[in-house]
Amino acid sequence: MDPILLGCLLCVILPLVAFGLIMIFTWRRPNLSLAISLVASTIPLIIAWTMLFKLWGIKEPLIFTFNWLVSDLVKVPFGFLIDPVSLIMLVIVATISWLIQIYSIGYMGGDPGFGRYYADLSLFAMSMLGLVISSGLLQLYVFWELVGLSSYLLIGFWYEKFSASEAGKKAFVVTRFGDVGFFMGLVFLTIFFGSLDIAGLNAAAASDKMPPWLITTSALLIFCGIAGKSAQFPIHVWLPDAMEGPTPVSALLHSATMVAAGVYLLTRIFPFMAASATAMLIILAIATLTMILSSTIGMVATDIKQVWAYSTVSQLAFMAMGLSAAGLAHGTLFAGYFHLTTHAAFKALLFLCAGAFIHHFGTNNFFVMSKEGGRKLTIPMVTVTIAALALCGIFPMAGFFSKELILGTLAHLDNKIWVLLGLFGAFLTSYYTFRVIFVMLFPRADDHPAWEQYWEEPEPHGHGHGDDAHGHGHGDAHAHDDAHGHGHGGHGDSHGVPWVMSFPLLVLAGFTLVLGFLQTPLETFLLGKSEPHEMSFVLLASAVGVALAGIGMAWLDWGRKTASWQGFIKQIPALETFFIQKWYIDHFWRWFLDTFIYGVFSKWFTYNDRRVVDGGVDAVAFSCIGGGRWLSFIQTAFLQFNLLFMVVVLAAVGIYLLMGR
Amino acid sequence: MLLFNQLETYLYVALVLFFIGLYGVLARRNLIAILISVELILNAASLNFMAFNRFLAPHPAVGQVIALFIMAVAAAEAAIALSIIIAVYRKLKSVNVEQATELRG
């Protein structure tokens, strides 16, 4: 067998086997489950890196397919497509997945669901790796849904907590809502194009073999799925709630890899999507709106995971902007994809640092962390600052390079409004990021009035988060009174963070520092050639300028000694309320559900069920009873009358048959 | 041509028997009389089988077998019917069919 094919198969099958083994046999034994899961994630890691090095510089994609579903009209292959795009994503997923599994040893240690946690992580690894190397869209869709399933399982991991199980359900239903559109797009393509093969689709769209209306419609339908998975407006509402899951899960699924699957799909079929300028323009508009919206909400959140969650939404939107702008300006997929790569590193790092703080202090509120002495945790504090600088796009962090590229792509558009909005988004990003960093770095004196304001969180989502890391209501005492207790510093480690947790932080910080300088080799690998980027000085200066301006603004509001700790947004109370209420989008969906789904569809379907379906069955039964009553006069209790009637009828039938001849 | 060597003769006799039986079933009110009339109808059928067997069928045994069957069935039927009649009599102190009106609609 071809070693590459064997590698692909192992990547998909090993984690699946681990999932099955743990779920069926070893879920009661934490250490054995951990060992199985680690083996099943280390081998794909080695395979992924080996393949990247072996296949560095391939020109033609490697495709392995088997027939999966064959009829005379459609043929659905099942297989693997290995090209630079999927190779890089494969490495990202395998690496971060492995690092998270290491990190979780510390974070989840002592949890009664430890085995189940690793089983779910293995299921996720299997589905995500399978998604990345899928050769056809239907196969990709299957793994896409499996990824959604593992996301649901992991968000609701602490299912004893009501808000967590609700958040899991919300994530599942909302993303499924988008996936309906995705599936309709696939059906549409199958009917009118006849194939869902990724390579074939891209080639056909690029060489004008498909009618434009078909491309536009199916691209927009597929974008529904992308918007659901990558949390774009207006169905981004599930991602912030998904932070109810354990923090390593948020780092793996809800920032670095799974939510990036949407953008990955956009990259995967980029030539196809880019063939429709209308679709690209709509995607660009939605992504821009999402970025501004989520950045503004991030400015007022006091839960550190919520800030990073909204930051994830805005960065995903930023990637989508880069890709759609490239589609409009006949550019390449590199800018958006490069940002996906760097974002995976620094956003996973941000979440893992947040997880280290949450694990130590037992709260999600970063004001509380600051008061409790968060800056004394040296490794998380240094690495979170590195990641924050990357998020803002400050040289020499990875984010600097990828954000510059996207802004450069946006600047290529004729309409300059997009690049201005992009710069505005970058400004907001720097502001809310460094709001967190400055609050953590420079706690105030104990009698500062701001503490009162932020200590007890008035926000509806705030109160449920305090017990995220430990007290999830299962009442198992052993989970708490061992070395994993919180807030009392009993870790026996000079940094207060166990090495299994600080090691992934350092690795990711290394990636964050290095990845930016790999821009040219990566571009050569992805596109076959590296084009010189004529980066205009004005754009470069303004990009760095707005990032520094955001940091400066944050310094004025939160950092300096005399800062008010209020935030400039406090000056406009109406706007602040608007942001705290998350632009009332959750309210809108609540209203929409109550009015249209429950008020119209559900009501009428219930009515239909009660009246038409049940009523129909009842009507048949009751008419039988009534008809029997009514016809019972025929039974006169005069037996021979019935017999006579029978004889007469038989005689009549006999005569008719004889005469009828 | 002898009268008793013709198919038609037997068929007419059977016809007469059948109609006598039918009349008895329909017109008599005594349950035992009705039972006797049913036996007449069965005998009419047996006679038909025997006649057709004698004049038309190549194999001589078929009709006789069926006639024997009918006799056995008639015996069983008579036993069941008589027991029903006795049950009716115990309930109604009468074997008149007009008295059995409990299931009137």
Q: What residue ranges define each of the domains in chain B, with the CATH number in brackets?
A: 28-96 (1.10.287.3510)
Which chain B residue is nearest to residue A629, measuring alpha carbons?
B105
A644 touches chain B (CB under 8 A): yes
Q: Give the burial class of A436: count Cβ atoms within 10 A of its Cβ; 0-12 exposed, 13-18 middle, 19 or more buried.
A: buried
- For a pLDDT cut of 70, what percent of chain A falls above it? 92
The amino acid present at A108, given as its one-letter code, is: M
CB pair distance less than 8 Å for A634 and B103: no
User: What confidence score (pLDDT) does residue A473 get?
Assistant: 39
CB pair distance less than 8 Å for B105 and A634: yes
Chain B nearest CA to A617, separation (Å): 26
Which residues from B are below 8 Å from A when comparing CB atoms?
A: 22, 25-27, 29, 97-98, 100-105
CB pair distance less than 8 Å for A637 and B25: no
Q: For the ranges A187-196, A203-212, A599-608, B42-51, which has the lowest average pLDDT?
A: A203-212
User: What confidence score (pLDDT) does residue B70 get?
Assistant: 93
CA–CA distance, A202 with B44 (Å, rounded to integer)? 88
CB pair distance less than 8 Å for A647 and B22: yes
Provide the strand spans (E) within B1-105.
none
Chain B nearest CA to A641, separation (Å): 8
- The predicted-structure confidence for A135-188, as pLDDT tens digits, reads as follows 989 999 999 999 999 999 999 999 999 999 999 999 999 999 899 999 999 998
Chain A nearest CA to B88, separation (Å): 14
CB pair distance less than 8 Å for B105 and A640: no
User: What confidence score (pLDDT) does residue A371 get?
Assistant: 83
Half-sphere exposure of A189 (CA within 13 A, CB side): 29
- The predicted-structure confidence for A268-309, as pLDDT tens digits, reads as follows 999 898 888 899 999 999 999 999 999 999 888 888 999 999
Q: Measuring CA to CA, which residue among A204, A227, A234, A336 is closest to residue A279?
A: A227
Residue-wise burial string across A538-566, b where 16 or more C-beta atoms lie within 10 A, e elsewhere: ebeebbbebbbbbbebbbebbbeeebebe
CB pair distance less than 8 Å for B97 and A647: no
CA–CA distance, A654 with A385 (Å, rounded to integer)? 103
Question: At A79, is the secondary structure helix, strand, or coil?
Answer: strand
User: What confidence score (pLDDT) does residue A42 get?
Assistant: 94
User: What confidence score (pLDDT) does residue B103 get?
Assistant: 74
CB pair distance less than 8 Å for A635 and B103: yes
Give the angle subtended at the CA of B45 by the CAs of B39 and B48, to the nearest 5°.
145
- The predicted-structure confidence for B58-99, as pLDDT tens digits, reads as follows 777 888 889 999 999 999 999 999 999 999 999 989 988 888
The amino acid present at B89, given as its one-letter code, is: Y
CB pair distance less than 8 Å for B26 and A635: no
Chain A nearest CA to B26, separation (Å): 5
- Residue A492 binned pLDDT confidence (cut-offs 50, 70, 90): very low
- Residue A443 binned pLDDT confidence (cut-offs 50, 70, 90): confident
Strands A75-82 and A62-70: antiparallel
CB pair distance less than 8 Å for B22 and A634: no
Q: Using the predicted structure, report yes or no on whether residue B44 has a pLDDT greater than 50.
A: yes
The gap between the terminal CA atoms of chain B, to the nearest Å, is 57
Residue A621: count of CB within 10 angstroms of its CB: 10
A494 touches chain B (CB under 8 A): no
Q: Using the predicted structure, report yes or no on whether residue A199 has a pLDDT greater than 50.
A: yes
- Residue A476 binned pLDDT confidence (cut-offs 50, 70, 90): very low
Q: Two tokens at A92?
A: 């990202």
Which chain B residue is nearest to residue A630, measuring alpha carbons?
B105
Which chain B residue is nearest to residue A632, measuring alpha carbons?
B105
As a whole number of angstroms, the longest Cα–Cα distance in chain A is: 117
CB pair distance less than 8 Å for B25 and A643: yes
CB pair distance less than 8 Å for B105 and A635: yes
Report the residue from A632, A636, A640 with minimal CB separation from B97.
Answer: A640
CA–CA distance, B36 with B21 (Å, rounded to integer)? 8
CB pair distance less than 8 Å for A636 and B103: no
Chain A nearest CA to B95, separation (Å): 13
Question: At A447, is the secondary structure helix, strand, or coil?
Answer: coil
A445 touches chain B (CB under 8 A): no
Q: Using the predicted structure, report yes or no on whether residue A81 has a pLDDT greater than 60.
A: yes
Answer yes or no: pTM beyond 0.80. no
Report the residue from A633, A639, A647 with minimal CB separation from B105.
Answer: A633
CB pair distance less than 8 Å for B105 and A638: no
Contacts of A635 in chain B (CB under 8 A): 103-105
Which chain B residue is nearest to residue A639, measuring alpha carbons?
B97
- Residue A490 binned pLDDT confidence (cut-offs 50, 70, 90): very low
CB A91 within 8 A of CB A522: no
Q: Using the predicted structure, report yes or no on whether residue A479 has a pLDDT greater than 50.
A: no
Stated length of chain A: 661
User: What confidence score (pLDDT) does residue A480 get?
Assistant: 36
Contacts of B29 in chain A (CB under 8 A): 640
User: What confidence score (pLDDT) does residue A535 get?
Assistant: 67
CB pair distance less than 8 Å for B98 and A638: yes
**What is the mean predicted confidence (pLDDT) over A19-45?**
92
User: What confidence score (pLDDT) does residue A539 get?
Assistant: 86
As a whole number of angstroms, the longest Cα–Cα distance in chain B is: 57
CB pair distance less than 8 Å for B25 and A633: no
Q: For the ranges A31-40, A349-358, A444-453, which has the lowest average pLDDT?
A: A444-453
Q: For the ranges A86-90, A425-429, A487-491, A593-597, which has the lowest average pLDDT?
A: A487-491
Helix or strand holding residue A179 (H, E): helix A162-192
Chain B nearest CA to A628, separation (Å): 10
CA–CA distance, A42 with A252 (Å, rounded to integer)? 16
Q: Check residue A462 and report its DSSP letter.
A: T
Which chain B residue is nearest to residue A643, measuring alpha carbons?
B26
Best residue in B18, B19, B25 for a mutation probing chain A (most A CBs within 10 Å): B25
| Cα distances (angstroms) measured from residue A655 to each of A626, B12, B22 | 35, 18, 17
Q: For the ranges A338-347, A514-523, A531-540, which has the lowest average pLDDT?
A: A531-540
Contacts of A642 in chain B (CB under 8 A): none
User: What confidence score (pLDDT) does residue A533 get?
Assistant: 66
CA A220 from centre of chain: 19
The amino acid present at A137, given as its one-letter code, is: L
Q: Two tokens at B25?
A: 């079933």
User: What confidence score (pLDDT) does residue A16 get?
Assistant: 94
Contacts of A632 in chain B (CB under 8 A): 105
Contacts of B35 in chain A (CB under 8 A): none
CB A407 within 8 A of CB A426: yes
CA–CA distance, A329 with A319 (Å, rounded to integer)? 15
Q: Using the predicted structure, report yes or no on whether residue A638 has a pLDDT greater than 70.
A: yes
Backbone angles phi, psi at A432, to 5 degrees: -70, -30
Angle between helical axes of A417-441 and A537-554 (0-180°, round to 10): 30
Question: At A62, is the secondary structure helix, strand, or coil?
Answer: strand
- The predicted-structure confidence for A455-474, as pLDDT tens digits, reads as follows 654 444 433 344 444 434 34
* Region of residue A639 (left: phi > 0; alpha: psi -120 to 50; beta: else): alpha
**What is the mean predicted confidence (pLDDT) over A421-433?**
92
Average pLDDT taken over every residue of chain A:
86
Contacts of A646 in chain B (CB under 8 A): none
User: What confidence score (pLDDT) does residue A332 get?
Assistant: 85
Q: Using the predicted structure, report yes or no on whether residue A316 has a pLDDT greater than 80.
A: yes
Q: Give the burial class of A297: count Cβ atoms within 10 A of its Cβ; 0-12 exposed, 13-18 middle, 19 or more buried.
A: buried
Q: Using the predicted structure, report yes or no on whether residue B11 has a pLDDT greater than 50.
A: yes
Contacts of A643 in chain B (CB under 8 A): 25-26
Contacts of A644 in chain B (CB under 8 A): 26
**Which A residues in the span 602-641 are in contact with B, Cβ-Cβ below 8 Å?**
631-640
Q: Give the burial class of A249: count Cβ atoms within 10 A of its Cβ; 0-12 exposed, 13-18 middle, 19 or more buried.
A: buried
CB pair distance less than 8 Å for A644 and B101: no
CB A387 within 8 A of CB A346: yes
